[in-house]
Amino acid sequence: MTATTSSSPAPRQQAQDDEIDLLALFATLWDQKWLIAAITAVFMVIGVAYALLASPVYRANAIVQVEEKSPGLPGMSDVTEMFGGESAAITEIELIKSRKVIGTAVDKLDLDIEVEPRYFPVVGRAIARRFAGDVDELNTPVLGFSSYAWGGERIKVSRFEVPATQFNEKHTLVAEDGGFTLLSPDGEALLSGAIGKLIRAEGYELYIPTLHARAGTQFTLSRLRRLSAIITLQETMGVSERGKDSGILALSIEDTKPDRAEEILNVIASTYLRQNVERQSAEAAKSLDFLREQLPNIKKDLEEAERKFNAYQVKVGSVNISAEAEALLDQVVDIESGIAELQLQQAELDRKYTRDHPAYQAWREQMAEQMARKTEFNSRIKGLPETQQELLGLKRDLEVGTEIYTQMLNNIQELDIVRAGTVGNVRIIDDAAVNIEEPVKPKKALIVVIATLLGGFLGVALVLVRAALNRGIENPDDIEAIGLPVYASIPLSDEQRKLDFGSRRSARQLRKIRNQHPTALLAQRNPTDITIEALRSLRTSLHFAMLEASNNIMMISGPSPNVGKSFVSGNLAAVIAQAGQRVLLIDMDLRKGYMHKMFDVVPENGVSDVLSKRVQLQDAIQPTKIAELFILPRGAIPPNPSELLMSKGLTQLLEAVSADYDLVIVDTPPIMAVTDAAIIGRQCGVTMLVTRFGLNPVKELEVTKQRFEQNGITVKGVVLNAVERKASGYGYGYGYGYYQYEYKSDKAEN
């Protein structure tokens, strides 16, 4: 019971964490709603532009009926129906898409020649497509770009032969008055000629019967390999059966030009129909030739049987056949006729199938059945008298021969009629037609919807990826988790940005300006700003912290540049001085210090000059516009800042000012960039760190703390600066940051 009670809070806590993470996720998206909306809008505009500018694709449709194919020889249908033939639709689909049929369309319509006007990039094709002038009218060039086609151009290339190495290469055809010039892919002139004349030169042959374009208009001309053009057309064309075993085939082809799509499909359908008729006629002709070859042998066998029957009758005289023998004779004749017909079918089967084909197996079963019946009747005939047997055999041969000969004559007559009037088993039900009112592509509404959804998805993904990669501290709890108390959270001040960059910029534009040094003192210009109020709260917290310090010197540093150390130092010093304390602000960033800009004082004769004994301390300290607040600027930028700070002069300077002021605030460079802060911090009673909201990861702050502790310096606390208002409250996550800190000369400063 106890175990159950103790383990129950864990799942509840995990569920709460999941709920908080989900809310934080939606809040993060809400914070970046304008970015997501902007990306979505951009993609929607792109989708609309594509839907309006893309060339419409039209589909031509035709319907063909394939009837059941009749066998080559009479009686063959009985054999093939026993095993069920292959699907006729599948066979005909492959025939329609065969190279023989498609190749005919390629040759007839010159589809292996690609020629197209050269349009102005992006919008030229759409402008030309919307031109609705007369047949012989040309659209006016836009902005004088006469080398492009703008609408109304027409060209027909009936012959274009190129060297073997120039297949698929894009040549340029330039229209001229009554003629043309062909340029190579490299821009060299290959040949020139007049419209309607065949031109030959350097392995090229070109015949253009029609060319209607402005002089100077360029066309792109390519010669494809015939097989490549056939394969392309095969991939573009679609053939499918409507309904299972219906024999109705739907043909379709897509093209940007509806007239060309319709023409191509009509040529393919008519070519397929013609070849089907030719194939049917050829099969009937082959069967007819086979029967005519066999007819003389059958006639010879019939004549021989008749001669033998007559001779036997003369020899033995008139003999009457009994009723029993007559009945046997009729049945034997039927069997022999069937066997003879099967033997003729065997030749047809040998021509079409292998011995393992089901049709051949069905024929073999029929033949075996007939032979078994023949054996049975032969045994019954042997029971008759010898004279009756002999006479019966001769008469059987005569009647069987007569039956076979008569049947063969009938077959020859039927096949001759079929061959002469072959119409095939294919019918074109509907000729090719194109609905030019509704192109199949692009689906404008669908494209816009997909583009908008894609933009929204990418916008959300971008925000989430940025949130995952931006692991800067956004929650004070993350700082306190590594053992550093957070003394204050300073809001991001839009007023400070306006002071630095002008009052005409919006708050959203100001938030985009980061990593810029302030050039005005906010505590002096706008003392009621919410940021200054937060610094007053920090002043109260630091009052108690200084009571436990070894001296009245407070160092303010940070892990990296651009966290707002100088902003916090300057305004905090002003707030404390306004409370009545005598404060000295020292700019000990001897490399890039800019505190003098905030207080509008000269940087010369500062800390570096005092430490190098060029200026006396009292001469270097300058008053500010705020009562009880004094500043010691950085001075001239020295070549060796660290060595200068390690001298005894720094100790003497700090001891001197500590006695003369109630509080000394020292602004130092970031510890992760240079070691100056570690040198200065050993002589300061309190060390405070400034970290920027969303910039410094926790790991970086943790390394900063360790570096100070390695030098015997205890970090009193942290100020979280530039906190931004977010719907998600404080963010989560952290990672490693990157920064640079470099020297800056006096010349660059000035």
pLDDT at 478: 86
Instruction: Give me 266's structure tokens.
Output: 């009509």
Write down the residue that tokens 């660290």 correspond to: 642
Mean pLDDT of 320-346: 65
Sheet holding 204-207, edge to edge: 159-161, 204-207, 199-201
- Taking only the tens place, the pLDDT of each residue in 175-189 is 998 899 999 999 899
Q: Who wins on pLDDT, 374 or 590?
A: 590
Mean pLDDT of 277-292: 66
pLDDT at 735 over 60: no
Evaluate the CA torsion angle 453, 455, 460, 464 in order and state its sign.
Answer: positive
Q: Where are the beta strands (DSSP E) in 195-243?
A: 199-201, 204-207, 210-212, 218-223, 238-241
Residues sharing a CB contact under 8 Å with residue 108, sequence separation 6 or more, in sequence order: 267
Are the CB atoms for 607 and 587 separated by under 8 Å? yes
pLDDT at 696: 85
What is the Cα–Cα distance from 192 to 199, expressed in whole angstroms? 8
Cα 711 to chain centroid distance, Å, stands at 56
Mean pLDDT of 268-295: 73
Residues sharing a CB contact under 8 Å with residue 55, sequence separation 6 or more, in sequence order: 125, 126, 129, 256
Cα 447 to chain centroid distance, Å, stands at 14
Question: CA of 650: how far to CAs of 21, 607, 615, 683, in Å?
Answer: 50, 9, 14, 9
- Taking only the tens place, the pLDDT of each residue in 675-724 is 889 999 999 999 999 999 888 888 889 999 999 999 999 999 999 998 88
Residues sharing a CB contact under 8 Å with residue 435, sequence separation 6 or more, in sequence order: 58, 59
pLDDT at 324: 52
Report the amino acid identity of residue 163: P
DSSP class per residue in 87-133: PHHHHHHHHHTSHHHHHHHHHHHTTTEEEEEPBPTTTHHHHHHT---
The pTM (predicted TM-score) of the whole model is 0.58
Q: What is the CA radius of gyration of the chain?
A: 51
pLDDT at 687: 93
Which of helix, strand or coil describes residue 281? helix
Mean pLDDT of 235-253: 88
What is the Cα–Cα distance from 321 to 331, expressed in whole angstroms? 15
Q: Among 148-157, 219-228, 361-370, 588-597, where is mean pLDDT lowest?
A: 361-370
What is the Cα–Cα distance from 123 to 170, expressed in whole angstroms? 21
- Taking only the tens place, the pLDDT of each residue in 198-226 is 999 888 999 999 999 999 999 999 999 99
What is the Cα–Cα distance from 557 to 194, expressed in whole angstroms? 84
pLDDT at 143 over 50: yes
First-to-final CA distance of the chain: 77
Angle at alpha carbon of residue 334, lines to 333 and 340, rounded to 5°:
85
Closest by CA to 728, choosing from 19, 26, 14, is 26
What is the biggest distance separating any 2 CA atoms in the chain, rounded to whole angstroms?
A: 168
Q: Among 224-233, 436-445, 510-519, where is mean pLDDT lowest?
A: 510-519
Report the amino acid identity of residue 355: R
Query: Could you tell me the pLDDT band of residue 342, with boundaries at 50, 70 and 90?
Result: confident
Count how many Cα atoms sit within 13 Å of the Cα of residue 69 in the half-sphere of its side chain.
21
pLDDT at 321: 56
Evaluate the CA torsion angle 382, 387, 388, 392 in order and state its sign.
Answer: positive
Are the CB atoms for 588 and 666 separated by under 8 Å? yes
What is the Cα–Cα distance from 27 to 485, expressed in whole angstroms? 27
pLDDT at 389 over 60: no
- pLDDT above 90 covers what percent of the chain? 37
pLDDT at 290 over 70: no
